[in-house]
């Protein structure tokens, strides 16, 4: 029984009025006042919570995740997209039409239906011609050139379509594969942040970080090797030339001794 009900029962029990001493009435009045204050505070918290939830739905950040179209790049980017979705982002994950079809063929027609706030989109980027999904993904250079030529225009159209759709919030940021550096051109046009993700292992990152120094050291080493090689080659040439001259002189002396010339 709450305080208010207990107070009423105490005063009007069996339709008869019981006199309450002044101190007890004051205490009960205070308890009732505290009870009302607590109820008001709870209602205020509930209203504020509902308001915050409504505002969160309205200003929910929308991230577009674009992996390089190879399996070793798609899987890590998908994990990042799941983490962002868990943190409250609306996620649009972008595949090429070729990879999208490959996933549907492997996992069923409903494998990429997604959620209301986790959607999959496709870009019409041509993959290298192939008879299988595996061999097509091996031609890295051709695929990278294809992305460089035909990625920005359809991606720009996709973002414009997402921004015009009332079912999702406008695009606020982008997460791109580090091999798709040209997406920076589009994000600068749209004035939104773009985070590049490098999926290679830590050893690969360290190797690329020190690549220039390694090349300089290799060039210096090769210069030293070639210098030694050409020096030895020059010395060998001179040695052979001197031997040839010496042999020629000796041969000429022998011939002269056998065939004296009289003048």
Give the contacts of 194 (CB within 8 A, at least 6 positions apart). Answer: 173, 174, 175, 176, 183, 184, 187
What distance lies between CA 28 and its chain's CA centroid?
A: 62
Can you tell me the distance from the alpha carbon of 171 to that of 61, in angstroms, rounded to the nearest whole number? 7
Token readout for 20 is 């309450």
Catalytic residues: 73, 177
- H or E element in which residue 116 lies: none
Of 162, 161, 84, 98, whose CA–CA distance to 127 is shortest? 98
Paired residues of 92 in beta bridges: 64, 119
């Amino acid at each position: 029984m709450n305080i208010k009900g207990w107070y009423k029962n105490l005063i009007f029990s069996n339709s008869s009025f019981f006199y309450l001493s002044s101190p007890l009435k004051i205490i009960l009045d205070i308890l009732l006042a505290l009870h009302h204050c607590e109820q008001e505070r709870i209602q205020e918290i509930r209203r504020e919570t509902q308001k915050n939830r409504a505002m969160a739905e309205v200003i929910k950040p929308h991230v577009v995740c674009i992996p390089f179209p190879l399996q070793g790049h798609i899987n890590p980017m998908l994990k990042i997209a799941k983490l962002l979705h868990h943190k409250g982002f609306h996620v649009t994950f972008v595949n090429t039409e070729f990879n999208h079809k490959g996933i549907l063929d492997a996992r069923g027609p409903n494998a990429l239906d997604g959620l209301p706030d986790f959607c999959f989109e496709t870009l019409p980027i041509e993959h290298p011609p192939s008879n299988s999904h595996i061999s097509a993904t091996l031609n890295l250079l051709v695929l990278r050139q294809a992305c460089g030529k035909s990625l920005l225009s359809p991606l720009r159209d996709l973002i414009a379509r997402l921004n015009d759709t009332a079912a999702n919030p406008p695009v606020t940021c982008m997460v791109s594969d580090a091999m798709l550096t040209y997406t920076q051109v589009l994000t600068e046009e749209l004035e939104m942040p773009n985070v590049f993700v490098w999926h290679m292992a830590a050893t690969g990152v360290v190797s690329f970080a020190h690549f220039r120094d390694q090349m300089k050291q290799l060039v210096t080493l090769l210069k030293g090797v070639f210098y030694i090689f050409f020096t030895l080659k020059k010395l060998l040439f001179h040695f052979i030339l001197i031997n040839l001259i010496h042999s020629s002189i000796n041969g000429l002396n022998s011939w002269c001794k056998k065939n004296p010339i009289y003048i």
